[in-house]
């Protein structure tokens, strides 16, 4: 491929496959796929309910360290299953996976708990859906890729922009048709005010939460109400800040649209420049540059002030000499340079086909504009399982996007550009940076890169 033209020879087979729910189990008889969920919070329910919407699976196991959240989810799933069977509930994912009776496992935990359950799930014989970013450090993420390949299991990462109907349309109508012309730059950004500004007191954890297990391999912090649920993203101990949460989606989207692999050089700068009062320790201002061959993708986030363009506060913008393509979760817009037809598209809302979307929006904060993307991503996952092929967001693609974002944070901390070697997973000429590609695990947990 000419890296500057980005004209695809054909439409991705996985994109086409994502429009069809292929069910080999149903074709062979009445056997249903047996599903387990690890992490029963907001997105755990969103992902599982959409899987149930497109195929009559049997959810047999649920796991969470919050007993109230676990039982709430079990009641919900029982009410939605054809069998009305209440799933078995577990406080330990190890006990759940030890049953070795699951066809599919969804891992929807906080980021610091993605790697260990995903690795154990594929080793138990299940195919796995794991949320983004894949890990909290680069070698943790690499261990997930290695485990998937060693086990031969299918692993889909929750970067569902690759299965978003209007973004697939944008790729086919604009990028694959060469309408952008020469491309040498893209921008990705997030200007949402999503960084916590609270400073709650530290307290004892609630009785329904096993905080020791919730913390797991991460450093132990005093408990406060930001930690659980959802606001854990305020702390670098549990994730990778706004870069790991939001840039990973937009960087992955641009990589997919343009057929990009690993960046060769990564730089970043930023910090906490405005909000010094909150307990949150993630940056409120940050830029990053991901340098690919003949193309740079530049990231900006700012959790204060106004977005430069209020119409595109979380977006990817691809610049070509023949036109500009703007992409986000709600729409796309291609504007040809020098005039001509503007091409646009909107998110697919399917409340007519899936009326439960409206209920789930009210009760579980399902994002209506994302529901069709989750369903498409699940269909692609099932197709890959049935055909023993790689899904559109295969673990390797998730690893590349996630590790790139993790290294952006590392570049900011170190104050220097990192040149990454994907063959050796080292930073060229920088032993300090290479050492920090793996963060310490809290005892007695063992980093997966150290386990043979």
The DSSP symbol for 66 reads B
DSSP for 392-404, written as a single string: TTBHHHHHHHHHH
Residue 365 lies in a domain: no
Instruction: Say whether both 329 and 412 belong to one domain.
Output: yes
The Cα angle at residue 390 between residues 349 and 27, in degrees rounded to 5? 70
Handedness of CA 150, 90, 245, 42 (dihedral sign): positive
Residue 116 lies in a domain: yes
The Cα angle at residue 64 between residues 62 and 65, in degrees rounded to 5? 155
Which CATH number belongs to the domain containing residue 175 in this structure?
Answer: 3.30.360.10
Instruction: Say whether both 22 and 106 belong to one domain.
Output: yes
Which residue, among 292, 89, 109, has the nearest Cα to 184 in the 3D structure?
Answer: 292
Instruction: Say whether both 153 and 225 belong to one domain.
Output: no
Instruction: Say whether both 115 and 264 belong to one domain.
Output: no
Q: How far apart are CA 71 and CA 76, in angstroms?
A: 9
Instruction: Say whether both 187 and 87 belong to one domain.
Output: no
Which residue, among 294, 293, 325, 319, has the nearest Cα to 172 in the 3D structure?
Answer: 325
Which residue, among 308, 314, 338, 341, has the nearest Cα to 326 in the 3D structure?
Answer: 314
Task: Compute the chain's Rg from CA coordinates.
Answer: 21
Residue 364 lies in a domain: no
Instruction: Say whether both 80 and 181 belong to one domain.
Output: no
Q: How many domains does the chain divide into?
A: 2
Backbone angles phi, psi at 110, to 5 degrees: -60, 160
Instruction: Say whether both 391 and 416 belong to one domain.
Output: no
Beta strand pairing call for 418-421 and 343-346: unpaired
Instruction: Say whether both 138 and 173 belong to one domain.
Output: no
pLDDT of residue 133: 97
Instruction: Say whether both 182 and 41 belong to one domain.
Output: no
Instruction: Say whether both 103 and 70 belong to one domain.
Output: yes
Residue 60 lies in a domain: yes
The size of the chain, in residues, is 452
pLDDT of residue 254: 98
Which CATH number belongs to the domain containing residue 66 in this structure?
Answer: 3.40.50.720
Instruction: Say whether both 318 and 386 belong to one domain.
Output: no
Residue 375 lies in a domain: no
Mean pLDDT split into 10-residue runs, the chain, 452 residues = 38 42 47 97 96 98 98 98 96 97 98 98 98 97 98 98 98 98 97 94 97 98 94 97 98 98 98 96 98 95 97 98 98 94 97 96 94 98 98 98 98 98 98 98 97 83
Residue 4 lies in a domain: no
Tell me the residue range of the domain where 120 lies: 13-160+380-395
Q: How far apart are CA 314 and CA 192, in angstroms?
A: 7
pLDDT of residue 20: 44
Instruction: Say whether both 166 and 312 belong to one domain.
Output: yes
Q: How far apart are CA 64 and CA 434, in angstroms?
A: 34
């Amino acid at each position: 491929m000419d890296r500057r033209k980005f004209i695809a020879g054909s439409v991705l087979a996985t994109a086409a496959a994502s429009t069809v729910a292929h069910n080999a189990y149903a074709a062979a008889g009445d056997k249903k796929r047996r599903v387990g969920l690890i992490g029963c919070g907001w997105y755990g329910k969103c992902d599982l309910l959409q899987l149930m919407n497109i195929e009559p699976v049997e959810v047999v196991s649920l796991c969470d360290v919050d007993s109230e959240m676990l039982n709430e989810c079990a009641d919900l799933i029982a009410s939605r299953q054809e069998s009305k069977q209440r799933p078995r509930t577990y406080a330990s994912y190890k006990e759940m996976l030890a049953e070795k009776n699951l066809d599919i496992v969804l891992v929807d935990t906080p980021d610091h708990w993605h790697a260990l359950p995903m690795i154990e799930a594929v080793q138990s014989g299940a195919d796995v859906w794991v949320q983004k970013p894949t890990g909290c450090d680069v070698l943790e993420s690499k261990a997930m890729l290695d485990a998937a390949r060693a086990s031969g299991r299918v692993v889909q990462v929750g970067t569902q922009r690759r299965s978003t109907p209007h973004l697939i349309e944008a790729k086919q109508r604009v990028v694959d048709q060469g309408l952008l012309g020469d491309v040498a730059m893209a921008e990705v950004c997030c200007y949402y005010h999503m960084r916590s500004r609270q400073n709650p007191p530290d307290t004892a954890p609630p009785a329904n939460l096993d905080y020791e297990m919730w913390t797991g391999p991460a450093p132990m912090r005093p408990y406060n109400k930001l930690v659980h649920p959802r606001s854990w993203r305020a702390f670098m101990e549990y994730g990778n800040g706004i870069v790991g949460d939001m840039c990973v989606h937009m960087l992955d989207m641009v990589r997919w649209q343009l057929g990009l692999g690993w960046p060769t050089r990564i730089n970043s700068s930023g910090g906490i420049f405005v909000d010094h009062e909150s307990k949150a320790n993630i940056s409120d201002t940050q830029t990053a540059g991901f340098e690919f061959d003949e193309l740079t993708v530049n990231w900006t986030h700012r959790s204060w002030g106004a977005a430069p363009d209020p119409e595109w506060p979380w977006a990817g913008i691809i610049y070509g000499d023949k036109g500009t393509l703007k992409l986000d979760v709600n729409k796309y817009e291609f504007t040809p340079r020098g005039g001509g037809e503007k091409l646009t598209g909107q998110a697919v809302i399917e409340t007519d086909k899936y009326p439960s979307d409206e209920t789930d929006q009210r009760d579980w904060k399902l994002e209506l504009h994302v529901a069709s993307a989750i369903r498409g991503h699940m269909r692609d996952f099932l197709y890959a399982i049935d055909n023993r092929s790689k899904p559109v967001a295969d673990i390797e693609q998730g690893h590349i996007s996630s590790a790139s974002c993790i290294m952006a944070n590392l570049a900011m901390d170190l104050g220097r550009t990192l040149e990454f070697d994907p063959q050796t997973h080292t930073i060229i000429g920088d032993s300090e940076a290479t050492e920090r590609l793996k963060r310490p695990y809290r005892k007695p947990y063992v980093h997966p890169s150290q386990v043979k």
